[in-house]
Structure formats: structure tokens, C-alpha cells
Amino acid sequence: MQCALCGKAKEVNITRPLCGECFLKDYESRIRRLIQREKLITPQDRVLVAVSGGKDSLSCAQVLYTLGYSIAVLHVDVGVAACTNPRTRNVVERFCEERDIPFYFLSFSEYLGVDMDEFFRKARRPRCATCGMLKRYVFNRFARENGFTKLATGHCADDIARYFLKAWVSGSKESFLWLEKLKPLTPSLHPRVVARIRPLFFSLEQENYAYTKFRGIVVAGCTMCSFFLRKDSWTEMLHRIEEVRRDFALAVARTLARQPEKGEANDTFQECRICGEPTNREICAVCRVRERCSPLTPTGRSGRQGGMTQEAR
């Protein structure tokens, strides 16, 4: 089979047959157009990209870098060895070093001043849900405290479709309402919330994988939720649906992106009585769990500072 664009031998066939060179051009120009059309990044922005070391977040950092945007990268140690470990940190750090991208590292445990095993246990919910909650909290706070105006993540169309399925089935009004914010750009509706951008909103997992391959990027996948081993039921469901409707993930992403934005400031937001982060309760979800954990040091280190380690070049 031949490349649909140039007629050379095809090297990849995800939505159509393409050679490596045309794939890269197509992938990057689609993302460049999305960034321009939706104003994901403006010249005044300082962009922080959260990078786990997996194919999606590394693709996100690489594509922004290739398109000439000035970015910094944050890698967090989530306290689950299967997800982040010295190897993932090494991969991300080297990626940044080779491209001269400022690299920041922090560990949840040090940032929050708690033992992560205890935190995950006391959160009394699935680890992935707790980890997601912590990432939202830590990424936002770190970005704001360090003067970043946009926080970029590697969420792709497959992730969006999984969230959509979960939210529909959850019976939770909050998850359902949250779908409204699931767009390439989630603007900040509160001074303490940093706007989110998702440049890979319309890219597929398989495309991100091919992108890292063609760009020669070393990836350190999470063994719990990587592309290869992701075996949760939502992925299974998504794959089954895609057997009959091949473009399901993209169709969901397009539909969500088109939903009208309410864009109202969320007046139920208040500041957490303990840490000051925005929340819709008196005490935020992270502090509620942290309160149940014993502090790491007997001196009662304040969680506000939390012994954060950061390194920037």
C-alpha cells in the first residue's frame, strides 16, 4: 500500500495509509491549526507541560517544542512505583536536557508531607482516581506558584472518549457536568485556577505512539495504565465500540468540543480553609485525606510549603 499523500511506501495506517514523513507533517500541522484556531497558546503565555514519561505526554511536549513554543516540563513522582520511578524521571529529564527545555521535578510525598501508601489507603477510592485528583491539585498549584499561565496535558481523543463513557454511566451529576469543561481549552474561571490546554484532544493514542516512534523518542510507559497494558473495562468497551464505529473516540471529542461554553465564573468556588486552593467545599479533597494521615515529620511541617523539590535549568 502507498502513502495517500505522496505515493511512497506506507509506514503507518491509522486513519489512512501514510509514510513516516507525511505522518509527521500531518500530525504536527493538525495540532498547530488547533492551537491557532482555539487560541490554546498566545504569545504572552508561559506553558508548563505535565509529562509522565508515557507516549501521550511526551508527544505533547515534543509537538509543542517542534512547533516552536517555549515550554517547561513538570514530572511528578506519584508514589506508585509502577507509574513513576527513577526510570521515568530519567527518561523525562534526558528528553528535556537534549532539547534544552527547563525541567521541574517534585514528589507528591514531599509536596504533601505524607507517606503516599498511607494517603492512597486513607483516600478510600481506587488508586487511579486518587492519583488523578492529586495531579489536578498539584499541577495547578505548582503552575500558578511558578508563574505559568497555561498547563498542558497529553490527554488524547481516547482519554476523552473514556471519560465520556464513564461520566455517562457514573450516575454522578458532577462528572456529567464536568464533560462541559472537557475541551481543547478549559479557561480559568478563578484567579487561583490555571487554564488547561489539551493539544492532543483530536489525536489518537495510536497516533501518539507512532509519533514517538517516528521522532525517535524514548518512552517509559506506566506499567499500570500504558497503551500496551491498559486493560481496564473502559478501554475494553471503547475498543468494542470501535469495532463497529471506527471513529468513535474522535466523534466524541468533536461533539464535546462543539458544546457551547457557559464560561461563567464558578461562584461555588471558595478557598480551602487549610491550603487556600480553590474548592467547592470548605476543605478541599486533598486536605480532607491529608488530615487523616500522620505527618511525615514530627515537627509538623506545614503542607503549604511541603518540602517541595524543584530543579530548573
- Which residues of the chain form contacts with Zn ion (CB under 5 A)? 3, 5-6, 8, 19, 22, 272, 274-275, 284, 287
If the CB atoms of residues 214 and 227 are measured against Zn ion, the closer one turns out to be 214
106 neighbors 77 (Cβ within 8 angstroms):
yes
151 by DSSP, 3-state: which? strand
Phi-psi region of 245 (alpha: psi -120 to 50; beta: other; left: phi over 0): beta
Could you write out the DSSP letters of every residue in 29-94?
Answer: HHHHHHHHHTT-S-TT--EEEE--SSHHHHHHHHHHHHTT--EEEEEEE-S-TTTS-HHHHHHHHH
Local structure of 126: helix, strand or coil = coil
Minimum separation from the CB atom of position 18 to Zn ion (A): 6
C-alpha span between 138 and 131 (Å, rounded): 10
* Shortest Å distance, C-beta 20 to Zn ion: 8
Whichever of 150 and 290 has its CB closer to Zn ion, that residue is 290
Task: Compute the least distance from the CB of residue 156 to Zn ion, in Å.
Answer: 23
Between 86 and 191, whose beta carbon lies closer to Zn ion?
A: 191
Contact 250, 16 (CB under 8 A): no
> Is the CB of 8 or the CB of 94 nearer to Zn ion?
8
Between 79 and 278, name the residue whose CB sits nearer to Zn ion.
278
Q: By CB neighbour count within 10 A (0-12 exposed, 13-18 middle, 19+ buried), where does 283 fall?
A: middle
Least separation in angstroms between CB 283 and Zn ion = 6
Q: Is 146 helix (H, G, I), strand (E, B) or coil?
A: coil
- The minimum distance between CB 111 and Zn ion, in angstroms, equals 12
Our CB check for Zn ion shows the closer of 19 and 80 to be: 19
Q: Which residues does residue 151 pair with via DSSP β-bridges, in sequence order?
A: 48, 196
Q: Sort 261 into a burial class: Cβ within 10 Å, 0-12 / 13-18 / 19+.
A: exposed
Q: Cβ 281 to Zn ion, closest distance in Å?
A: 9
If the CB atoms of residues 256 and 308 are measured against Zn ion, the closer one turns out to be 308
Least CB distance to Zn ion at residue 254 (A):
25
Q: Which is nearer to Zn ion, 24 or 241 (CB)?
A: 24
**Residue 117: C-alpha distances to residues 75, 95, 229, 305 (Å):** 19, 29, 23, 21
Nearest-approach distance from CB 200 to Zn ion, in angstroms: 22
Non-local (6+) Cβ contacts of 184 within 8 A are 34, 38, 40, 197, 198, 199, 201, 202, 257
